[in-house]
A and B are shown apart, each in its own frame.
Chain A
Amino acid sequence: MTWVGRSLKRFEDAPLLTGRARFMADAAIGARAVRFVRSPIAAGRIARIDIPDGVSAVTGADLIGVKPFRPRLNRSDFTPIEQPILPTDRVRFVGEPVVAVIAETPEAAEDAVDSVAVRFEPTPAVTDFVSALKADAPRVHDHAPANTVVDAKIRPPAVEAAFATAAHTVAIAIRSGRQSAFPLETRGARADYDPATGRTTLTVSTQMPHIVRTGLADVLGMREDDLRVVAPAVGGGFGQKMCPTPEYVVLIWLARRLKGSFAWIEDRHENLMASFHSRDQAHTVKGAFAADGKLLAIDVDLLCNIGAYSCFPVTHGVEPLMAMAEFPGPYDFPAYAARARAITTNTCPMAPYRGVSRPAITLAMERLMDTAAAKLGLDPVAIRRRNLVATFPYTSATGIKYDAGAYREALEIAAEKVDLPGFRARQMAARAEGRYLGIGFATFNERTGYGTPAFAPRMMDVTLGYETVEVAMDPSGFVEARIGASPHGQGLATTLAQIIADELGVAPDTIRVIHGDTDRTPYGWGTFASRGIVIVGGACKIAAAKLAVRLRAVAATLLQTEAGKVELADGRAALAGGPASIPIAELARAAYHQAHQFKDQPDIGLSARATYDPDGTYSNACHVAIVEVDVETGGVRLERFLAVEDAGRLVNPTIVDGQVRGGIVQGIANALFEEILYDQAGNILTTSLMDYAVPTAAEIPPIEIHHLETITDASITGAKGVGEGGAIGAPAAVINAVADAVESLGVAVYEMPIAPQRLRALIRAATGKKR
């Protein structure tokens, strides 16, 4: 009996269901409260800071010796930018922390924030990339002309030739609005100084405890081992909780300086205003097509608004360079030209958010496909069928190797499930009644589970990628798996136990996964980039297999046989083909307490360690949305959403489905509802849930999922990454569906979110009606 492949119920659930789980705000109780005075202006000088008597506060001037964040890529087309921990001269976005205020309780700290008077001298701000790019635009950072901090180009000669001879050239421009990852738990942290050891523990709601420790120790000039980073239960992250931020630096500085405990819990207003944003991009795309619809070349200009600062360790190159490298997606075409720019503006900084650029590039490519299909008289399935990669391994136009997937199969199954001809008939009938139905397809692939071989070409100061796992069995026979990554809702405590259980022949509930504590786990990266089950799971499999070798050796001694003849299953070590067997728990006891019997073993005890650092593996999917547009209100109702996806082996099918659906709903939100907005002066307009529209159960239809399981050797467990795919494909499927619904009105939709007022504006413009 194997455990991988079964929908085991999660080991994580019990404390979360009963209110016993300890989240960040729970851990903060009892510490002195820290709150931040934040810049109310987008750009300007700090003229004067007045702190009333009796108010305890820290400004940038106090933080002597503390270095700014300065994430780097070592490439000539990258301009580094620095983020001061608390600025002393200039502020660069609304919400930037300027003064930290300390009080006994959160309420008192919030009162004290109101009593601090900071006089700012505003200077002109730039918030959008069009104005920021102008030669005479105000500079967000003095050393960055035209506010351009990444300007990467690929332009092989074959592209010009392809466009010169192509039967059709199709040009579109898409716009992706700015979105917040919006974890339901905001950010927060608590720093505790331990006078006995001189160490400081930072408890922080994070996805990446080890690199957060490195980043914070570096700017504080600390020995890294003087800092312990602990992640409590983390209430969602989706990328927003990857990077270290100034607030954490201030907490550690205070704890060390005042030898006490200090905590900051972000409120929702701060979270929407000053935690990381994402997705603010514009792409101008030209496609060269043959007469039969075959794509021959792509030429794309990618603009990414990266906000005021960079994010450690991935830097502000993460969005433009990801967009440029992955733009070709699931399509086979030979010639590719791209320019990718990061534009700094007086807005909240960007960080990775579930999908990282791929929701936008998928929107661009999938709108291009539908636009070309309409021009060439093809249906959306036919044009995709003609262009999807069909033979593997495949090397993309940007030189990335795709392992095997089921690109065409996913499309064909999706088309069959939604019955495209049947839908067209229904659409015609509805149109006759004045109702506007639309269908949208999105096919895409997603690089997942990639290690240092994939990150190294980015030329980062910090090359991310591998994961290390230590698997140890204690004398009672229970197993601990210590992982450097740090899950925040993905269910890794369950799925990793399933993988380990199969190697050791024990039940998963005898395996405890330890994570989120730099004192207890090997150095590792975290949960992001659809990597947990592939890389951590792979490392668990290798480490557990090594431990199984040790167990077999111990058993062989006790059973007086050869290790090769021992089988581990159902909690017992058995002689193959014979009745002799011994409980694994007894082996464990013997390994530690009768060590003299195992002198031939390389080590005492039962533990093994392994690192997995793969090249990466491509997941793929086809999403289909069916919508009805109310042309009078601009409202879009989702009638049906279907995903046919291939993420390789399903370790726990129920958990996979949960990841897919969760991602899809964030993608639907990206397409229809959520947008962070600024006015021209750089004031943020969306800092409450009255303005930032997160969808509820009422807006979301049931989501159908069909799985394909292409197993490739690019992943040692056969599993491919599944965390981000939902969010990558859903926006394009929904926007294509909306575009299909209103196409007969002459309305062209190339932007998201297509909120009602925006869709109405397009309908008004196309139909010439005033309202």
Chain B
Amino acid sequence: MTDKIAVTLRVNARDYRIEVEPRRTLADAIRTDCGLTGTHLGCEHGVCGACTVIVDGHAVRSCLMFAVQAEGSHIRTVEGLADGERLSPVQQAFHDHHALQCGFCTPGFLMLATAILEDNPRIGADDLRHALASNLCRCTGYHNIVIAVQAAAEKMR
């Protein structure tokens, strides 16, 4: 298990040449090998969604994917959302609507919401709530997360 494989991960439009064990998850590679610790691990079995990143346009649980599987894909993480100091519409809406408390689930929700809205900014309220049910938050009770994503959707239409 310890023979390492050279992989190039393209994260937030930058190439990271790393060497990883085949069993290394994409989440661990992003965090430890690329040094992008904004992606969080809450359960490591694909339920909580804290580790959600965007891989080739799709919201993906990075704890359920191996780093070697992501070679050649375009990966986006929370570190790539803002334009310099300017927050993305989803980030700004989370701030404006108090959609985070401890903030641990926040990167995963931001990536999930970004993927949902980039796919369809006109998504209906019920479908949106259902899609946001992909991830867990323990602090907010979800109320303000739903409101924030709806507000971001308005801006992204």
Contacts and interface: CB of A to CB of B under 8 A. Distances in A.
Interface string B3-41: 000000000000000000101100000011000111111
Nearest to B79: A19
Tell me which of A19, A22, A233, A658 has the highest count of chain B C-beta atoms within 10 A of its own C-beta. A19
Nearest to A19: B38
Interface string B80-105: 01100001000100111010111111
Nearest to B106: A16
B133 interface: yes
Contacts of B23: 107
B66 interface: no
Nearest to A108: B2
Nearest to A25: B41
Interface in A703-741: 703, 726
Nearest to A730: B141
Given A185-B42, A694-B136, A694-B138, A19 B102 contact: no
Nearest to B94: A17
A658 B41 contact: no
Interface in B34-85: 36-45, 47-48, 50, 77-79, 81-82
A665 interface: yes
Contact of B91 (A7, A18, A22, A658): A18
Nearest to B50: A184
Contacts of A235: 40, 102-105
A23 interface: yes
B101 A654 contact: no
Contacts of A409: none
A17 B91 contact: yes
Q: Which size bracket describes the interface of B in this complex? A: 35 or more
B116 interface: no
Contacts of B37: 19, 22-23, 25-26, 29
Contacts of A703: 141, 143
Nearest to A234: B102
B98 A19 contact: no
Interface stretch (A35-43, A247-255, A488-496): A488-496
Interface in A678-714: 688-690, 694, 696-700, 702-703
B117 interface: no
Interface of A: 7, 9-10, 12-23, 25-26, 29, 107, 111, 182-186, 233-236, 238, 267-268, 488-491, 654-655, 657-658, 661-666, 688-690, 694, 696-700, 702-703, 726
Contact of B102 (A14, A268, A488): A488
Contact of B141 (A12, A234, A700): A700
Tell me which of B81, B87, B106, B139 has the highest count of chain A C-beta atoms within 10 A of its own C-beta. B139
B138 A490 contact: no
Tell me which of B39, B40, B104, B132 has the highest count of chain A C-beta atoms within 10 A of its own C-beta. B104
Tell me which of A22, A655, A665 has the highest count of chain B C-beta atoms within 10 A of its own C-beta. A665
Given A16-B106, A25-B40, 13 more contacts: A18-B87, A19-B39, A19-B79, A25-B31, A26-B37, A29-B31, A107-B23, A183-B104, A184-B42, A184-B48, A690-B47, A696-B136, A700-B143
B110 interface: yes
A115 B88 CA distance: 47
A664 B134 CA distance: 20
A17 B132 contact: no
Given A689-B43, A689-B45, A702-B143, A13 B38 contact: no
B145 interface: yes
Nearest to B87: A17
A112 to B, nearest CB: 13
Interface of B: 1, 21, 23-24, 31-32, 36-45, 47-48, 50, 77-79, 81-82, 87, 91, 94-96, 98, 100-107, 110, 129-130, 132-146
B103 A13 contact: yes
A268 B43 contact: yes
B110 A696 contact: no
Contacts of B137: 184
A661 B91 contact: no
Contacts of B81: 18
Contacts of A489: 101-103, 139
A184 B102 contact: yes
B38 to A, nearest CB: 2
B141 A698 contact: no
Tell me which of B1, B107, B142, B146 has the highest count of chain A C-beta atoms within 10 A of its own C-beta. B142
B83 to A, nearest CB: 11
Contacts of A26: 31, 37
Contacts of B98: 7, 9-10, 654-655, 657-658
Contacts of B140: 658, 661-662
A664 B141 contact: yes
Tell me which of B41, B101, B133 has the highest count of chain A C-beta atoms within 10 A of its own C-beta. B101
20 contacts: A13-B94, A16-B106, A17-B87, A18-B82, A29-B32, A111-B1, A183-B102, A184-B104, A184-B137, A184-B139, A488-B102, A658-B101, A658-B144, A665-B142, A696-B134, A696-B136, A697-B130, A698-B130, A700-B141, A702-B143
A29 B41 CA distance: 13
Nearest to A652: B98
A13 B95 contact: yes
Contacts of A184: 42, 48, 50, 102, 104-105, 136-139
10 closest cross-chain pairs (CB), A and B = A19-B38, A235-B104, A16-B103, A489-B102, A665-B141, A661-B141, A689-B47, A698-B133, A696-B133, A19-B78
Nearest to A489: B102
Contacts of A111: 1
A23 B102 CA distance: 10
Contacts of B43: 268, 688-689
Contacts of A662: 101, 138-141
A625 B145 CA distance: 22
B142 A696 contact: yes
B88 to A, nearest CB: 9
B104 A185 contact: yes
A703 B133 CA distance: 16
B142 A20 contact: no
Nearest to B100: A16
Contacts of B145: 697
A267 B102 contact: no
A490 B141 CA distance: 14
Nearest to A185: B104
A268 B45 contact: yes
A235 B95 CA distance: 17
B13 to A, nearest CB: 15
A20 B133 contact: no
A553 B141 CA distance: 47
Contacts of A107: 1, 21, 23-24
Contacts of B39: 19
A236 B32 CA distance: 23
A666 B101 CA distance: 14
A274 B12 CA distance: 37
